[in-house]
Amino acid sequence: MTPPGKNEFTATTAQGRRQFLKGLAVLPTGMCLGMLATSSALAQASVANSVKALTFDVFGTVVDWRASIIREGQLLAARKGFEADWGEFADRWRSGYGPAMNRVRTGELPWTKIDDLHRMILDELVVEFGLNGLTEAELDHFNKAWHRLSPWPDTVGGLNRLKTKYVIATLSNGNVGLLTNMAKNAGMPWDAVLSAELAKHYKPDPEAYLTAADLLGFAPEQVMMVAAHPGDLRAAARTGLRTAYVIRPLERGPGRTVNTDAAGEFDYTATDFLDLARQLDA
């Protein structure tokens, strides 16, 4: 929901805002609330019509990375006889992602594709979890589990609806090859596969968002970032992109508490892609 400060009824000067609020104060309460609700709806409609493209975070927003990695681990275990807590393994693999990217940001590593960062983390986990005897081919296949992540149940249907009104594209830290294989594997109908790789800057660096908008041929305010992670959306908003928060309560597995306090910060908040399509009238 767009905050009242962003709707078209808000004056652009401090004096105008004071006069506007003073005017509301003398109206009956029901009328005040009705006007605010109407103005908010009009503001959202204005955003929906001014936006030309939607860019999507992928890991966690579009695909269920955790359940997918657990499944891949279980398949590997069935072939090789391993015993491991695959939920913990998936969490550890994912948690190594941020520190690995920071090694690139600080210059400790040159620009490195996420596929290669994933492999560096995997090589450490294989030793730690005692996954002995894997061949290079088996390690490579397991590392590319990230290419085979399964979409959330609403993903493909929601994307197809959103595609009828907007250009839809990935905007992920995943490299282009990874995202392309994932889309082909899962039947995701992207108009474009964009990646931080193209900017040589990982999100949340501003260059990642601005490069995506530029490559699509739109001004930042004509692009809406869609993500399940408030930090990603806040970084996008700082560059001028619009924002849509899609809540994914199962991203980290069942039984986790999901903090939805950030929902009011963004232009839209949705329960899934179908709900977002409904709100955007797509």
CATH pick for 51-63+150-279 out of 3.30.300.90, 3.40.50.1000, 3.40.50.300, 1.10.510.10: 3.40.50.1000
Parallel/antiparallel/unpaired status of strands 242-246 and 167-172: unpaired
Q: What confidence score (pLDDT) does residue 42 get? A: 75
Q: What confidence score (pLDDT) does residue 260 get? A: 78
Write out pLDDT tens, residues 81-121.
999 999 999 999 999 999 999 999 999 999 999 999 999 99
Residue labelled with tokens 């652009």: 12
Output the CA torsion sign for 223, 226, 232, 233. positive
Q: What confidence score (pLDDT) does residue 17 get? A: 41
Output the CA torsion sign for 106, 112, 115, 121. negative
Q: What confidence score (pLDDT) does residue 262 get? A: 83
Burial class (CB in 10 A: 0-12, 13-18, 19+), 144: middle
Write out pLDDT tens, residues 38-72.
656 777 788 889 999 999 999 999 999 999 999 99
CA-based nearest residue to 114, from 179, 199, 27: 179
From-to residues of CATH 1.10.150.240 in the chain: 65-148
From-to residues of CATH 3.40.50.1000 in the chain: 51-63+150-279
Q: What confidence score (pLDDT) does residue 221 get? A: 98
Homologous superfamily of domain range 65-148? Putative phosphatase; domain 2 (1.10.150.240)
Q: What confidence score (pLDDT) does residue 21 get? A: 41
CA-based nearest residue to 184, from 198, 170, 173, 171: 170
The per-residue DSSP string of the chain comes to ---GGGSTTS-SSHHHHHHHHHHHHTS-HHHHHHHHHHHHHHHHHHHHHH--EEEE--BTTTB-HHHHHHHHHHHHHHHH-----HHHHHHHHHHTHHHHHHHHHTTSS-S--HHHHHHHHHHHHHHHTT-TT--HHHHHHHHGGGGGPPBPTTHHHHHHHHHTTSEEEEEESS-HHHHHHHHHHHT---SEEEEHHHHT--TTSHHHHHHHHHHHT--GGGEEEEES-HHHHHHHHHTT-EEEEE--TTTT-TT-----GGGGGSSEEESSHHHHHHHTT-
Q: What confidence score (pLDDT) does residue 112 get? A: 97
Letter for the amino acid at 168? I
Low-confidence ranges of the chain (pLDDT < 50): 1-27, 29, 31-33, 36
Cα–Cα distance measured from residue 23 to residue 231, given in angstroms and rounded to the nearest whole number: 36
